[in-house]
């Protein structure tokens, strides 16, 4: 089987995207997805997405981690999929698509910025001196200083594979507050099992923890290794966050085809 693929990235978080509106890729196996995401033997990516048809929506987003397993919501992936949809002719002023965590809205600004509305968050849980937040994917938030010098791989892996999280896995974010409305985030992602250059749901979770207005509108700038994102949201009360938007660039890198041969 020959696979026609498109490679996209959002602040360095990169994805293989397949147009599956004709359902030709429905039978992809875990091993095949893992191969396509492999940076030495395949195309190379943090994850793979299928763009599917969906009744009542512009499309469906189906997301797989680099380990080949179908996974939870990916914020930067969602933004890249919207840009891909635009580039293949699905052009809307406002997109409405469905993902594993429910419906999402998205917009593309004149400057190319892709803004994705994330699901509402109804709880930010304290965990010892850290936080756990679900923004479509589960995230562990640890506030720290000198985050650029932090051993994210080792410390993130230790938390991700600790007794509390080893079975289901969790994404681990190390966050430095630069000022009231600007933070730095580095993320160890489950399924990739390494630090990625950026993680959209992790950036979103980190920004919610680092709000600067007790109530009402917040706008947080987030620096990642791959570039800058912004997270806008309304903080309703101590545990409720609504109108959450993840905003930033999403760009096509290249496209091509790859032969799967007899790979199962």
**Catalytic residue numbers, as ranges:** 74, 199
Round to whole Å and give the CA distance between 261 and 208. 45
Round to whole Å and give the CA distance between 114 and 241. 21
Long-range Cβ contact pairs of 20-26 (< 8 A, separation 24 or more): 20/50, 20/51, 20/52, 20/62, 21/51, 21/52, 21/53, 21/59, 23/52, 25/50
Round to whole Å and give the CA distance between 192 and 69. 10
Other Cβ atoms within 10 Å of 101 Cβ, number:
17
**Residues contacting 119, CB < 8 A, separation 6+:** 73, 101, 102, 104, 135, 136, 244
Partners of 175 in the beta sheet? 143, 185
């Amino acid at each position: 089987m020959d696979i026609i693929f498109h490679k996209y990235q959002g602040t360095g978080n990169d994805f293989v995207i397949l147009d599956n509106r004709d359902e030709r890729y429905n039978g992809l196996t875990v091993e095949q997805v893992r191969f396509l995401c492999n940076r030495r033997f395949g195309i190379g990516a943090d994850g793979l997405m299928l763009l599917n048809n969906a009744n009542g929506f512009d499309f469906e987003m189906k997301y797989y981690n680099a380990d080949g397993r179908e996974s939870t919501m990916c914020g930067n992936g969602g933004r890249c999929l919207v840009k891909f949809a635009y580039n293949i002719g699905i052009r809307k002023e406002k997109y409405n698509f469905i993902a594993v965590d429910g419906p999402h809205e998205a917009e593309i600004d004149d400057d190319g910025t892709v803004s994705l509305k994330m699901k509402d968050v109804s709880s930010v849980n304290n965990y010892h001196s850290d936080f756990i937040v679900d923004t479509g994917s589960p995230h562990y938030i640890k506030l720290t200083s000198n985050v650029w010098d932090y051993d994210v791989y080792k410390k993130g892996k230790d938390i991700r594979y600790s007794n509390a999280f080893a079975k289901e896995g969790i994404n681990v974010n190390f966050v430095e507050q630069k000022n009231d409305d600007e933070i730095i985030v580095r993320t160890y992602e489950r399924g990739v099992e390494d630090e990625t250059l950026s993680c959209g749901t992790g950036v979103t979770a980190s920004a919610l923890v680092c709000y600067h207005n007790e109530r009402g509108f917040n706008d947080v700038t987030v620096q990642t290794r791959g570039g800058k994102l912004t997270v806008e949201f309304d903080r309703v009360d101590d545990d409720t966050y609504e109108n959450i938007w993840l905003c930033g660039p999403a760009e096509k890198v290249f496209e091509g085809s790859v032969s799967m041969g007899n790979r199962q």
